[in-house]
Structures are given as C-alpha cells and as structure tokens.
Copies of this chain bind each other. A is one copy, B any other.
Amino acid sequence: MERESKQIVDKMEKGFLKDMPNESVRRILENAMKVFVRRGLAGTRISDIAKEAGFSQGFVYNHFASKDEIFTEISRLAAEGSLRVIEEVSGFDSTPYEKIYWLTEVLTAPDTLVQHHFKLVLLQTISYETMPDETKKIFKESAIKQIADICKILEEGQRIGEIKQEDPVKLAFGYFAMVQGIAVIRMQSSKQMFLPDIENLLGFIKK
C-alpha cells in the first residue's frame, strides 16, 4: 500500500517535468509555482519569480509573454497531473474502497504536485475575480472531471456494498471538501501535523 502510493506520486512528478522545451522554462515554472502559492497572483512580482529561479527579471520575458501566461501554464500542468492521479487509481486492480483509500493517501501526501494543484485551486477560489479567464476554464473543467471520476468509483463501491448508500455526488463533494481542507490545514501548520488516520477520515463514506 505504502509503495503503491509512492509510485503514483512519482509518475505524476515525471509528467510535470517531461515535455518541457528547456531547462530555463522548467526552472521558471517550478519556482513560480512556489511563489504564487506564497504571495497570490496579484501579490507576485515577476522579479519575485525571477529571484526564486535565480534569473534576472528581464530574462523571464524571453520565455513567457506575461505573468498571466506563466500562471496559466502552471495551472494547466497542475490540473493535468491531478487528473492523471485519479485515473491511475481508478485503473487499480482492487476494491473501490481500497482505491479511495489509496487516492486519499496520495492526495494528502505533502510536497507533491497534487498538493500544488490544491493550493492553486484555493488561490483561484479566494481571488476569483483576478484570475485569467483561461485558468477559470481549466479549473472548472478539471473539477467536473474529478467529481465524475470519484463518483464512478463510489457507485461501484455502493453496488458491492462497500460504500454508504447515499447520493454519490454528495459523497464526492464531501470527499473533496475533506481533502481540500487537509491541504489547508497542512499549509497552516507546516511542521506539526495532527490528523486522524485516513481510515478514520473516510468514516463518512464507508458503509
């Protein structure tokens, strides 16, 4: 179980790194992601990103046309990575509840691309009006697909009596509320984390 979730996380991080035109672009995106999450979109200066990546301010514009373009690119990568995880787990040869269990392990693991996705979703949520239209679209579509994928697993679980008999959409929303909430708590108390075991957290889903 432990090894399995590590494998998924690995596969994701690889997905993030591949398809990068060059090393500079990778370094900019990787560091921009960190800074955006610490300062918000409007609060992040190009010079902040440049500094974090170890470049000069002007250099960033050799690879990206604007701050929004960087942010959009990051959002796309994070959303794709996050979706890939759910698909990965869906394909597992195990029971629906086990799939959800693994998924939770991966989604709540610290310092992963998925965590960044959650953070970007939060950013999007909490300063919606200032977001580029493109990222609004990206996150919306990604959210719909995620809910749908989880629903599929939950419904299968209900059929074999593993999951509580309640509206699967409600359960899926509740599930994401919990996982998002954990991401928030994790950001707030980066060092000490006192959270119930996954088995406990999933109490409201299990039959």
Contact = CB atoms under 8 A, between A and B. Distances in A.
Contacts of A41: 40, 43
Interface stretch (A1-9, A96-104, A127-135): A127-135
A193 B40 CA distance: 27
Contacts of A201: 174, 204
Nearest to A147: B194
Nearest to A108: B177
A38 interface: yes
The 5 closest A-B pairs by CB, nearest first: A181-B181, A42-B43, A40-B127, A177-B181, A203-B204
- Chain A interface helix/strand/loop/mixed: helix
Contact of A194 (B39, B130, B169): B169
12 contacts: A38-B128, A38-B129, A43-B43, A122-B184, A123-B127, A173-B195, A173-B196, A174-B196, A181-B181, A181-B182, A200-B204, A204-B204
Interface of A: 37-43, 119, 121-123, 125-130, 143, 164, 166-167, 169-174, 176-182, 184-185, 187-189, 193-196, 200-204
Given A127-B39, A181-B181, A174 B188 contact: no
Contacts of A187: 125-126
Contacts of A169: 194
A180 B185 contact: yes
